[in-house]
Amino acid sequence: MKENNSGTVVVIGAGIAGLASAYYLVRDGWKVKILEKNRGDNNCSYGNAGMIVPSHFTPLAAPGMVAQGIKWMFNRKSPFYVRPSLNPRLMSWGLKFLKHANRAHVDKHACAIRDLNLYSSGLYNALAAEDDFDFELKQNGILMMYKSSEVQHEEIELAHHAQELGLDVDILNGNEVQELEPNLKLDILGAVLYRCDGKIYPPKLMQQLIGYLKMKGVEFHMETEVNKFTVAGNTIKAAISNRGSFEADAFVLTGGAYLPQLAAKLDINIPLMPGKGYSFMYDPMVENNMNHAALLLEARVAVTPMNGQIRFSGTMELGPANDKIYENRVKGIVEAIPKYYPELKVDYPKDNIWYGYRPCSPDGLPYLGGLKRYGNAVVAGGGGMMGLSLGPAYGKIVSDLLSRRPIESDIIGFKPDRFDG
């Protein structure tokens, strides 16, 4: 690999991980080529809830998730679902998940996840301050709202843990939350306000990143699917695609939920399961009445004011990707809304449903760092429910690693080949 950043980097995937990597790489002087198998205008980084979440310091693999998941499997409208299947990939992923769903695992990694998210949130602030960017960044916190005393108990316990970790968090009763949202009637017991969290409008961020990168000379090769690599010893020489071969000094592997297939071309095992989620935009002219993004905890529904509208999103269907929209799951989201916001009457959004696949690792941790076997490749992905939030941190760390600079966040637990061999 060239030492003076004058070399070429091929970035595979034009989601937030790929675009953010390209952003920092091009600023560091690299010549960047992005290879994207689709058109790169509707991947998981577009339709998500747009939340920046230092609050999500608990990995998905956490105590209680297994029991909760089994309970929810028997409810067709539940927000979490694992389709029962003998698919060997799903079974192997599930066994790894079970192994990690314990308190020791959560405690071991909470600080590193918190720090990576806070680091990324700071990088979002810096990006939003630039002239070329305005993606509706608002760092005024997210309300974790609950209706039941059972969830209240769990959430307050988590809030205390967050406070011990130094996060800016307030526990509020129903009236206090209503004071924060004076223009929108709420029917809740209370909420925890994670002041450390924020939100953006993801499509605007993605479009502005693409515009900026093109302006800086980054080459975009769309409908270009990488299906092979040429290697020599421990160096990747070229990515081979349906549109020819791309040689480079260094390679960045992203790929979202398809990262395992990409890594398999290098004979490396990076386990991920797609976690399908849905979202839709609602245009009630109340966006200006809603001050805060929120999570409706019992229903696991995310509510984000953006682009003059509100985006509702939710469900986590774990299993191999398929293009089916399961109406009952979307109905689960729709029916939850008036239970928390009694004045919001939302119809089933028939022609307006987006879905995407969260890239979920079995231990709930991202994959970020170099590969043992190939010295000129870096992986960024596996962010699951926080992949958008982590975008700038992915990008900055990818560029620091390839530019041989010290990195500013602890990524030791996130090694991309930790399950390999």
Ligand X SMILES: Cc1cc2nc3c(=O)[nH]c(=O)nc-3n(C[C@H](O)[C@H](O)[C@H](O)COP(=O)(O)OP(=O)(O)OC[C@H]3O[C@@H](n4cnc5c(N)ncnc54)[C@H](O)[C@@H]3O)c2cc1C
In the complex, minimum distance from the CB of residue 253 to ligand X, in angstroms, rounded to a whole number: 9
Give yes or no for a contact between 314 and 300, defined as CB atoms under 8 angstroms apart. yes
In the complex, minimum distance from the CB of residue 168 to ligand X, in angstroms, rounded to a whole number: 18
CA 41 to chain centre: 16
The yes or no reply on residue 143 touching ligand X (CB under 6 A) is no
Would you give the binding string for ligand X spanning residues 265-304, x where CB under 6 A is met?
Answer: ------------x-x----------------------x--
If the CB atoms of residues 178 and 207 are measured against ligand X, the closer one turns out to be 207
Binding residue for ligand X, selected from 37, 109, 138, 300, defined by CB under 6 A: 37
Q: With CB under 6 A as the contact rule, which of the stretches 8-16, 75-83, 334-342, 344-352 interacts with ligand X?
A: 8-16
The Cα 346–Cα 339 span in angstroms is 11
| Location of structure tokens 């991980």 | 17
The yes or no reply on residue 58 touching ligand X (CB under 6 A) is no
Query: Angle CA(180)–CA(285)–CA(42) in degrees, nearest 5?
Result: 100
Binding residue for ligand X, selected from 25, 32, 40, 123, defined by CB under 6 A: 40
CA distances from 374 to 115, 166, 231, 249, 413 (A): 27, 37, 9, 12, 19
The Cα 327–Cα 324 span in angstroms is 9
The yes or no reply on residue 152 touching ligand X (CB under 6 A) is no
The Cα 51–Cα 67 span in angstroms is 27
The yes or no reply on residue 50 touching ligand X (CB under 6 A) is yes
Q: Residues for the chain: how many in total?
A: 421
Give yes or no for a contact between 48 and 314, defined as CB atoms under 8 angstroms apart. no
The yes or no reply on residue 44 touching ligand X (CB under 6 A) is yes
If the CB atoms of residues 179 and 383 are measured against ligand X, the closer one turns out to be 383
In the complex, minimum distance from the CB of residue 279 to ligand X, in angstroms, rounded to a whole number: 5
The yes or no reply on residue 100 touching ligand X (CB under 6 A) is no
The yes or no reply on residue 332 touching ligand X (CB under 6 A) is no
Residues 6+ apart with CB under 8 A from 255: 12, 13, 261, 262, 381
If the CB atoms of residues 313 and 399 are measured against ligand X, the closer one turns out to be 313
Q: With CB under 6 A as the contact rule, which of the stretches 88-96, 155-163, 179-187, 351-359 interacts with ligand X?
A: 351-359
In the three-class reduction of DSSP (H, G, I as helix; E, B as strand; rest coil), residue 87 is classed as: coil
The yes or no reply on residue 26 touching ligand X (CB under 6 A) is no
In the complex, minimum distance from the CB of residue 361 to ligand X, in angstroms, rounded to a whole number: 11
Residues 6+ apart with CB under 8 A from 282: 309, 310, 311, 312, 344, 346, 349
Q: With CB under 6 A as the contact rule, which of the stretches 46-54, 68-76, 145-153, 333-341 interacts with ligand X?
A: 46-54
Q: What is the dihedral of CA 192, 197, 202, 208, to 10 degrees?
A: 160
Site for ligand X in 355-414 (CB under 6 A): 356, 358-359, 381, 383-389
Residues 6+ apart with CB under 8 A from 228: 239, 240, 265
**Beta bridge partners of residue 380, listed in sequence order:** 368
If the CB atoms of residues 48 and 376 are measured against ligand X, the closer one turns out to be 48
Binding residue for ligand X, selected from 23, 24, 33, 48, defined by CB under 6 A: 48
| H/E element, 51 | strand 51-52
Site for ligand X in 174-233 (CB under 6 A): 225-226
Q: With CB under 6 A as the contact rule, which of the stretches 30-38, 57-65, 207-215, 338-346 interacts with ligand X?
A: 30-38
The Cα 376–Cα 372 span in angstroms is 10
The yes or no reply on residue 248 touching ligand X (CB under 6 A) is no
Give yes or no for a contact between 357 and 44, defined as CB atoms under 8 angstroms apart. yes
If the CB atoms of residues 9 and 302 are measured against ligand X, the closer one turns out to be 302
Instruction: State the residues that interact with ligand X by CB under 6 A.
Output: 12-18, 35-38, 40, 43-45, 48-51, 53, 225-226, 254-256, 258, 262, 277, 279, 302, 313, 356, 358-359, 381, 383-389
